[in-house]
Structure 1
């Protein structure tokens, strides 16, 4: 079964390798590098049809280096992921997914945290032109747009952050709430035409600030937003140990109980997590999740979780009401 995965951090791994940090093998080869959980061969083996690739910057980077680091990751997206793997096709517009041929894998460029462009909306518009189709205003830290989930102050969107959401709307770009503070989340709900939680779970099952509580989940569903469950162990169970695929499926069950069966997807966070669900260690194992889901849900519902729910909730693509 096809898979659409809305979050991974392969670009950061490629950048760290290029810069000589952490990885002895220099540089990493996206095609088959063992340390890249979403390498091309694993995406192909796991049935992935579309993979999102996030540009992520460490928050302690000096401000005057952030734009350069972001552009370096964008360049790696073009040269290492697209340039060296002919079957990887850049999704520049949401309609491009429909044009993918058999054997081709779509690659979507995203931004995890507005730190890259600071307060310069001209840089944001450049990112749109480069193909960024989903933007999270923050990582866990605060920035000029909003407070992240890890910021004790817990503030909402700034005037700049609200301008970014409006620009996202105009450009048919998702506004990603996965790392936002609670107040920031509700500000986005008021403004965003295309909200997504690209990698978050249910706070009712695991009380972590990166997860969504029931009222947030219901608000996402009311706005035709997607919630894509994440494989990070800390977001699945308290005091996680020996996490199995059914533990993750319980989060899907919970979101379904809130009315979200048509708005749940997958956002693995591969290449950004240190420990893994048993039998779901990299992208080649996605069908293990599909097989387990098929024990509990209809084929139609499983296809929804795997890829079709996302296709029906792409920005500006005649969204179907749930």
Structure 2
């Protein structure tokens, strides 16, 4: 099950109480205080692990807490420290304060380990309070309480290229023939219900990661369809590829304008990302000369429109994933544009 957003209350452990104790030995008639310190409470830490892929492990959980420190003991023995709470999350997980919306942690690379909440300090035992005027202190410090935070964990997939398009335009087929991803492919809309990642091999030494999200429809920014819910998964991408379908009722330019508008409504930052355009199902020109001429005219109109956009890396390529034409050119073009954007 793909789960990319959860809410949790996280708490570090409380410090243990210091002990109030006095030496009681047969040959020590004036035994003094010997109460030990309380143990520190456990910390809350986040660990980034690329073996985790979703936040499904947190499904149904509302609160996670580190272990409390144990109380101090007689004979000046310190209580045991509380066990840390280590939270394993996938790469791309953000920890957000659910009340203020502040980004608290961003876990983006394998092995990253971050201290999130420090455990409470254990209290001092009564042995620390003996002095010249008070030889038998009968008090000790209580432990300090741990910290608590109500947070939202959000997973944003980390990819180099993000696919943007309407449902059933060929995004899933493209990522299946270009990469190692194997999404569900069918002749109906919304076959992609969750984001997918695929590694695209450019040559023996170079590759990049491509992300596919559920198709976007007009009005997505107002809650229609599935795509907007998952747009955050392409917020980290260096480059966007708009996939347009010549078989849709809307012409290519109109499709592009609708998709760009939905991106702008979701995120100004994502809207300004460098992009290219792929016209899918180029084998559809075999439907006849009249249809081929129509697509050629639409492509020319789109090219003129793109020339007015502030995106020096923009390109238009015609690709057929079914007949595997144009794939090599697209692969190298995406790799080149991704590298220029990240430079």
Q: Which structure's relative contact order is higher, taking Cα pairs within 8 Å and 6+ residues apart?
A: 1
Choose 1 or 2 for highest CA Rg: 2
Higher strand share: 2
**Do the structures match in fold with TM over 0.5?**
no
> What is the TM-score of this pair, normalised by structure 1?
0.32
